[in-house]
Chain A
Amino acid sequence: MSDLITARGLTKTFPGVRALDQVDFSLRPGEVHALVGENGSGKSTLIKILMGVYRRDGGSIEIRGQPVQELTPQHARALGFAAVYQDVTLARQLSVAENFFLGAMPHASWGGISWEEASRRSGAVLHDLGLDIDPRSRLLDLPVAKQEMVAIAKAVFENSEVIVFDEPTALLTDDETQLLFTIIRRLRAAGKGIIYITHRLEEVFSICDRVTVLKDGTRVRTLDSTETDQDGLMRLMVGRSMADMYTIQRLPPGEPVLEVEGLTREPRFRRVSFAVGKGEIFGLFGLVGSGRTEILRVIYGADRPDAGRVMVNGTPVAFFHPRDAIKTRIGFLAEDRKMQSIALPLTVRVNANLTSYPAISRFGVLDVAAERANAASCIERLRVKTPSDQQIIRNLSGGNQQKIVLGRNLISKAQILLCDEPTIGVDVGAKSEIYKIFERLTAEGITILLVSSYLPEMMGLADRVLVLYEGNPMGIVVRRDFNEEKLVRLASGIAA
């Protein structure tokens, strides 16, 4: 029986970066094939090529032994490909049943839409999969995890031959994850091909038959999941073992520079208190929705708290606007870089100065020489890869974009950096550079508040970690007591 997909020598280049370089990939029927690799390794590019969203620059694709020249999303759908992405790509304003039949609602004998049949059929699929969801409910009204289950059910319903799951468990609880795995096993038994993308290496061994590791756009290896383990995969992904990559030198912290007491902003978080010493890396850890980003935003003055106070260097501060925080030497690296940290259509030069303009203006007139000097300093200090400072920042890789965000805070002389998932969407090389930069900065006395969902990163960088569960502080853990299991239990709401 021929492979469902045989791809050879796939290549894709974007301006300034080779996203995929001669990658081979195959998918057999009745197989769950994991695709792992750091951000920037080419995973999503590969998937997008297979789903017809991107056009490959080189290489060949065969579907069930038949070569395919041009692949469009419609064509991919017609071939029986479906994808369940992390950000639910369904029509949120419509009901579950309508989403099942998007564009192809069942009709009654008189010609109009049969809502009853739509509900009945979609309800049957949901029930069959063990999901307790009312097909008439609006997608928007369901919790995000349930929305994702609907997306999965839809892919099953459409009898897709190939289903791609992109980080499916990010939003699911343990029970829901088990349900997902049960569904996947059923699909596998029915001869479907599953491509499973994840950052959670343990899942590769729970559910996957083979795993392909991508690194910097090339395929490192494809092996059976029985042939390796998590550390082995990690080594293939990164080229060094987990411990090496994330561990940086830590010095004992100094006097408290930032103190937070009883900080509350309902419904996001409440009664959060901690003190951070000079040069410390203080982590905020928790699941999606635990309130970490919201805490940073309040400290930065982007949102106002309901109660509590913040003190910088012993003095209480009340920020009404991020401008106040910037003046107090606090910098912010937002989680969603593209929507919050960088002005995509503008140049590297402007982005490097975003927070510095008041400092380089007199009576509103800019010192353009200073603007250029700031950008040059930023690019040089952090070794940003860009043809010139007039390059549009959209064309830079995620890692270089993030370096500009980091650099501009340093130019504004930030003493406290609030970093929200600083290495998300950043390739391995730049990630490692950013860690070394953090190491250097904290040695020079700059303090960092770090939000990260990736435990190895958190445990490698932080001196202490405050764990949050649904907005409630669960406890502060110090570095020598770091333990994956302990942190995850606290993050799941299980008290120490």
Chain B
Amino acid sequence: MPATKLPATRWIFNLGTSATLGLIIVVLFAFLSFTTRSFLTWENLVNLLRQTSINGVIALGMLVVIISAGIDLSVGAVVAIAGIVNALLLKEGVPLVATVPIALLTGAVVGLLNGVLVFDFGITPFIATLGTVTIVRGLVMILSGARMVASLPAGFAHLSMSMVLGIPTMFLIWMALFAVTWMILRYTQLGRNMFIIGSSQEVARLSGIRLRRNTYAIYSLCSLYAAIGGLLLSSRLSMGVPTAGMGYELDAIAAVVIGGASLFGAAGSALGAVLGAVIMQTIHNGGTLLGVDPFALQIIIGALILLSVGIDQVRQRQRRTA
């Protein structure tokens, strides 16, 4: 890369910082407040907050996998299966206190499967999780008979509608997970291992880090988060929807990369993922309110994903030559 280009594109380095992201959010909000009548209403903002919480939780899970230089395309499917498993069990009369852990466990098991495919079978994460997506989606269809599971106990649906001191419970759950993720990344051995494995598996191994158990833990954690997201979504829809979560993995990846993580691993932050998720969902929400053709919106979002990954590539090259 010719050296003369370096100064001109140096600003890209700073794109991932939280300050820049905060600024982008403010600009987005300002833009949407002026161009639509309904964006800045209490009702819409609460709505946005709830939807963002779901994708935000999934993004946090995706973050840990991406930091370790992996990727998980199956999170959308886990969102579906967690919702379906929970719904089916509730319909059978199993109490909520039991269905939730079981649904979460299902998610974690899918994550473990991903971990096994990636570590023990040595399949590259992209392909491994692509395989899992297909398997899990098929499983969801079989379990649900390809039908939505409705008439769930009111208590479950209430979860998504409830508020604590005027703040949606879903948002609080997301923030709690944000705090947990932040602590894991900063203060635990597992968190450090994610960065080290993301920088080089060989270096990690030679430093005494056991790759198997860490890989399992990382993928299971990601799927667990996705399962939580699936339960939140299911509560919001008050039903189990077998086609839930379609496209959620791309949103999660985009959120994480916009937030400063690198698909090459060893970079990223919980705050970045949170802000990235806010940006992604605000665009979704804003697009709908502006009456943008949903398919045109899809194109815009796709372009945004490509843009954020492209910027990541440029950042990576700059890291190497700077």
Is the pairing of A and B real?
yes
Task: Let me know if A334 and B3 touch, CB within 8 A.
Answer: no
CA distance A233 to B158 in the complex (A): 83
Task: Let me know if A322 and B189 touch, CB within 8 A.
Answer: no
Among residues of A, the one whose C-beta sits closest to the C-beta of B3 is A55
Task: Let me know if A357 and B192 touch, CB within 8 A.
Answer: yes
Task: Let me know if A15 and B322 touch, CB within 8 A.
Answer: yes
- Min CB distance, A86 to chain B, in Å? 20
Residues of A within 8 A of B318 (CB): none
Q: Which residue from B190, B195, B202 sits with its C-beta under 8 Å from A340?
A: B202
Q: Which residue from B189, B199, B202, B205 sits with its C-beta under 8 Å from A357?
A: B189
Task: Let me know if B188 and A354 touch, CB within 8 A.
Answer: no
Q: Which residue from B191, B192, B208 sits with its C-beta under 8 Å from A321?
A: B208
Q: Which of B176-191 contact A (CB under 8 A)?
A: 186-191
At the interface, yes or no: B84 with Cβ under 8 Å from chain A? Answer: no
Residues of B within 8 A of A334 (CB): 206
At the interface, yes or no: A326 with Cβ under 8 Å from chain B? Answer: yes
**Interface size of B in residues (CB-CB distance below 8 Å):** 28
Task: Let me know if B206 and A341 touch, CB within 8 A.
Answer: yes
Main SS of the interface on chain B? helix
Q: Which residue from B3, B189, B206 sits with its C-beta under 8 Å from A302?
A: B206
Residues of B within 8 A of A321 (CB): 205, 208, 210
- Min CB distance, A70 to chain B, in Å? 8
At the interface, yes or no: A366 with Cβ under 8 Å from chain B? Answer: yes
Task: Let me know if B202 and A350 touch, CB within 8 A.
Answer: no
Q: Which residue from B187, B190, B203 sits with its C-beta under 8 Å from A354?
A: B203
At the interface, yes or no: A172 with Cβ under 8 Å from chain B? Answer: no
- Min CB distance, A33 to chain B, in Å? 27
CA distance A357 to B208 in the complex (A): 9
Residues of A within 8 A of B209 (CB): 323, 357
CA distance A321 to B208 in the complex (A): 7
Among residues of A, the one whose C-beta sits closest to the C-beta of B322 is A15
At the interface, yes or no: A364 with Cβ under 8 Å from chain B? Answer: yes
- Min CB distance, B58 to chain A, in Å? 24
Task: Let me know if B188 and A322 touch, CB within 8 A.
Answer: no
Contact bitstring B203-236, A, C-beta under 8 A = 1, else 0 = 1111111100000000000000000000000000
Task: Let me know if B199 and A72 touch, CB within 8 A.
Answer: no
In the complex, which of the residues B2, B192, B203 has the most CB atoms of chain A within 10 Å of its own CB atom? B203
Contact bitstring A20-60, B, C-beta under 8 A = 1, else 0 = 00000000000000000000000000000000001100000
Contact bitstring A339-351, B, C-beta under 8 A = 1, else 0 = 1111111100010
Residues of B within 8 A of A (CB): 2-4, 186-193, 195-196, 199-200, 202-210, 266-267, 319, 322
Show 9 residue pairs from A and B whose CB-CB distance is below 8 angstroms, ordered by the A residue.
Answer: A302-B205, A322-B205, A322-B207, A342-B203, A345-B267, A357-B192, A357-B193, A357-B209, A364-B190
